């Protein structure tokens, strides 16, 4: 099977309405309008199938060949690039639609029956006060970032209300862990819960037990 038939010159000279074969199932499709895109063709259970690999404006020749190679590997393993693409698109939509607020509220609702009323109120109060206004509408996968968790949420609270900040950190870790288990943190998630303390935030924040809350005094009421 010959691979790598196309050149930059051939791509630029491709006539409108053509379908040029690069080999290995990769084709360059040139519409009558002049728009060009990459297509991977393959057989699945005796049927001809094809899937788009992107526009030539965003996917160059080498990238298209790499995508085609990944498709050939998937077909060889019994997979279907069309189904795989649809599943990845659905997963991306699922991840983007699961905001942190929605994830946290779903988590609280799920576990609320086993909690006290006080505990439930504490969870919601901490999130409503310190998390939702800043990152509540971001995808939960995006919130699982050291920069966001440390710089945007925890660090500003750590010196002033250390006990509450540490409880908030633990709550964040629980929600992110739940979201990851449910598949809302994406296929690339490898157990990296950025809200965990050990071997992670302990390197960027003082130990909570070593801190005292900052007290504000007025007038002559200075200890």
How many whole angstroms separate alpha carbon 49 and alpha carbon 191?
36
* Same-domain pairing of 28 and 85: yes
CA 25/CA 72 separation, integer angstroms: 8
**pLDDT score recorded for residue 149:** 94
Does pTM surpass 0.75? no
CA distances from 186 to 74, 85, 104, 139, 169 (A): 20, 14, 17, 11, 21
Report helix, strand and coil shares of the chain as percent, to nearest 5.
50, 15, 35
Q: Are residues 102 and 204 in the same domain?
A: yes
Domain boundary among 61, 94, 127: 94
| In-domain check, residue 215 | no
Pair 75, 175 in one domain? no
Q: What is the pLDDT, as a whole number, of residue 31?
A: 95
- Quick one: pLDDT at residue 191? 67
User: Do 115 and 53 belong to one domain?
Assistant: no
Could you list the residue range(s) of the whole structural domain that residue 110 is in? Answer: 98-210
Task: Say whether both 134 and 160 belong to one domain.
Answer: yes
What is the number of structural domains in the chain?
Answer: 2
75 occurs within a structural domain: yes
Q: Name residues whose C-beta falls within 8 Å of residue 201's C-beta, 6 or more positions apart in sequence.
A: 146, 149, 150, 154, 169, 194, 195
Q: Is residue 84 domain-shared with residue 114, that is, in the same domain?
A: no
| Alpha-carbon distance values, 55 to 14, 39, 80, 88, 94 (Å) | 15, 9, 21, 18, 24
For the chain, 223 residues long, give each residue's pLDDT as a single digit of tens. 678 899 999 999 999 999 999 999 999 999 999 999 999 999 988 889 999 999 999 999 999 999 999 999 999 999 999 888 887 787 667 667 789 999 999 999 999 999 999 999 999 999 999 999 999 999 998 999 989 999 999 999 998 999 999 999 999 999 999 999 988 886 556 668 999 999 899 998 988 766 665 554 444 433 3
């Amino acid at each position: 099977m010959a691979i790598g038939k196309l050149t930059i010159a051939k791509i630029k000279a491709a006539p409108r309405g053509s379908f040029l074969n690069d080999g290995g199932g990769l084709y360059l499709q040139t519409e009558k309008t002049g728009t060009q895109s990459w297509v991977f063709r393959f057989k699945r259970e005796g049927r001809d199938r094809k899937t788009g690999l992107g526009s030539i404006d965003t996917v160059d020749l080498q990238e298209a060949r790499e995508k085609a190679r990944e498709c050939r590997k998937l077909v060889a393993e019994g997979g279907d690039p069309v189904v795989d693409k649809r599943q990845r698109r659905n997963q991306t939509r699922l991840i983007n639609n699961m905001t942190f607020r929605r994830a946290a509220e779903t988590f609280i609702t799920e576990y609320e029956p086993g909690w006290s009323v006080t505990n439930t109120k504490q969870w919601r109060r901490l999130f409503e006060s310190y998390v939702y206004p800043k990152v509540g509408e971001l995808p939960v996968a995006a919130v699982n970032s050291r920069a966001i968790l440390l710089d945007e949420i925890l660090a500003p609270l750590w010196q002033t209300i250390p006990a509450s900040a540490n409880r908030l950190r633990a709550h964040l870790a629980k929600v992110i862990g739940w979201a990851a288990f449910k598949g809302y943190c994406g296929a690339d998630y490898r157990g990296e819960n950025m809200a965990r303390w050990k071997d992670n935030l302990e390197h960027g924040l003082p130990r909570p037990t070593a801190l005292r809350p900052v007290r504000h005094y007025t007038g002559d009421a200075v200890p």
